[in-house]
């Protein structure tokens, strides 16, 4: 993965519709036929449809996933729960955009080693083996986890996100999927009214509550549904994963030809 100040791509801002979607349980969710139907529609309308992955997955995973051609290649990626902001080139390389990431890097500083030391031996948390640049991620055992750990992270000047009742992420203060997506959309001059935001777990909450057209797909984490229940701009879909995204495109009337 290489850092680039600029990277030339087609103008996503000129496209009629932009899908900004979580991966696991959302874009990668639903039946095989449902996923194939959505992916085929995106491919057929690619000159008018922009695609942004907004995920907790790391750039290496995204590179392998799209290179295998099992899913459409995105134009841009918000990865690592919002701590990576990048473009994806035609060779499927994920290229971080330095001018958008500089503030994230500065906010993180040397927090990784400090947080890892502070959380070492914490019951219910197991540090994941993947080396991330500006985050720490743990597998969480909900039966042993003590919510007081969240206060310990806050005392370090960092944010913590619990998601899917099994993941615990430590992030730079104020950095998550929503703020990073908004930073990217602003940088690209994309009209927010033409963007559909899609997710299914609590680490998607910050982007679902930005006020953009949104969907919590069928099968979403109950805690997420509780948080967005009264938000009119968030469609609570019946369809799971890809089917829920297709349902929301129609619900929000974002691409009439859909």
Q: What is the pLDDT of residue 7?
A: 43
Q: What is the pLDDT of residue 72?
A: 96
User: Does residue 5 fall inside a structural domain?
Assistant: no
Does the pLDDT at position 6 exceed 70?
A: no
User: Model's pTM, two decimal places?
Assistant: 0.92
| Residue 197 near residue 177 (C-beta atoms within 8 A) | no
Computed on alpha carbons and rounded to an integer, the radius of gyration of the chain in Å comes to 18
d(CA 101, CA 77): 12
CATH number of the domain to which 131 belongs:
3.90.1070.10
User: Does residue 116 fall inside a structural domain?
Assistant: yes
Q: What is the pLDDT of residue 76?
A: 98
Q: In this structure, are 153 and 218 located in the same domain?
A: no
- Determine what percent of the chain is predicted with pLDDT higher than 90: 91
Q: What is the pLDDT of residue 10?
A: 54
CATH number of the domain to which 219 belongs:
3.40.50.1000
- For residue 238, CA distances in Å to 34, 36, 159 come to 13, 18, 31
Q: Which residues contact 42 (CB under 8 A, 6 or more apart)?
A: 19, 49, 51, 72
Domain that holds residue 31: 12-103+175-251
Q: What is the pLDDT of residue 69?
A: 86
Angle between helices 32-44 and 242-251 (to 10 degrees): 50
d(CA 42, CA 47): 9
pLDDT digits (tens, 9 = 90+) for 110-143: 999 999 999 999 999 999 988 899 999 999 999 9
Q: In this structure, are 243 and 157 located in the same domain?
A: no
Q: What is the pLDDT of residue 256?
A: 72
Beta bridge mates, 19: 51, 196
H helices of 129-204, in order, are: 148-155, 177-188
Q: Which of 157, 172, 187 is the last residue of a domain?
A: 172
| Residue 215 near residue 8 (C-beta atoms within 8 A) | no
Q: In this structure, are 94 and 113 located in the same domain?
A: no
d(CA 130, CA 127): 9
């Amino acid at each position: 993965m290489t850092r680039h100040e600029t990277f030339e791509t087609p103008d996503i801002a000129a496209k009629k519709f932009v899908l900004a979607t979580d991966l696991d349980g959302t874009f990668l969710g639903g039946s095989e036929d449902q996923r194939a139907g959505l992916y085929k529609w995106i491919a057929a309308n690619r000159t008018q449809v922009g695609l942004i992955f907004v995920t907790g997955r790391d750039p290496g995973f995204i590179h392998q996933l799209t290179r295998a051609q099992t899913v459409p290649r995105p134009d841009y990626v918000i990865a690592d729960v919002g701590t990576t902001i990048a473009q994806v080139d035609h060779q499927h390389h994920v290229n971080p955009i330095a001018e958008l990431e500089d503030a994230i890097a500065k906010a993180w500083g040397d927090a990784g080693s400090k947080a890892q030391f502070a959380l070492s031996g914490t019951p219910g948390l197991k540090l994941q083996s993947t080396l991330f640049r500006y985050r720490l991620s743990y597998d969480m055992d909900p039966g042993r986890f003590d919510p007081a750990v969240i206060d310990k992270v806050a005392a370090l000047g960092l944010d913590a996100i619990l998601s899917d009742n099994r993941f615990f992420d430590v992030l730079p203060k104020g950095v998550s999927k929503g703020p990073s997506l908004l930073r990217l959309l602003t940088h690209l001059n994309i009209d927010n009214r033409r963007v559909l935001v899609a997710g299914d777990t609590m680490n998607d909450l910050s982007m679902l509550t930005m006020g953009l057209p949104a969907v919590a797909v069928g099968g979403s984490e109950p805690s997420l549904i509780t948080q967005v229940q009264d938000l009119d701009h968030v469609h609570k879909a019946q369809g799971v994963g890809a089917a829920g995204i297709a349902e929301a495109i129609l619900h929000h009337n974002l691409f009439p030809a859909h």
